[in-house]
Amino acid sequence: MNIKVSEAAKILGKSEQFVRIGLQRDILPIGIAIQMSSKWTYHISPKLLKEYVGGELSI
């Protein structure tokens, strides 16, 4: 299962841009960002996001 950037941003209380840049720079430990040509693709792990926020996710 993959969590959308918009969903992760809402859970974290941050902007979508915050989540994208955090993943691109390998600063936010909730998934990965891969650059494919000029576009970025994101995979946000429910398990890693849950561990990062330290609680239950209601997704």
Instruction: Give residue-wise pLDDT tens across range 23-46.
Output: 999 999 999 999 999 999 999 999
Name the residue type at position 23. Answer: L
Sign for the CA dihedral angle at 3, 4, 9, 11 comes to: negative
pTM of the predicted model, to two decimals? Answer: 0.88
- The answer to whether residues 53 and 34 touch, using CB atoms and an 8 Å cutoff, is no
Structure token digits, residue 26: 């390998």
What pLDDT score was predicted for residue 55?
A: 77
pLDDT band for position 59 (cuts 50, 70, 90): low
User: Where does residue 8 fall: left (phi above 0), alpha (psi -120 to 50 degrees), or beta otherwise?
Assistant: alpha
Average pLDDT, the chain: 94
What pLDDT score was predicted for residue 1?
A: 82
Question: Per-residue pLDDT for 20 more than 70?
Answer: yes
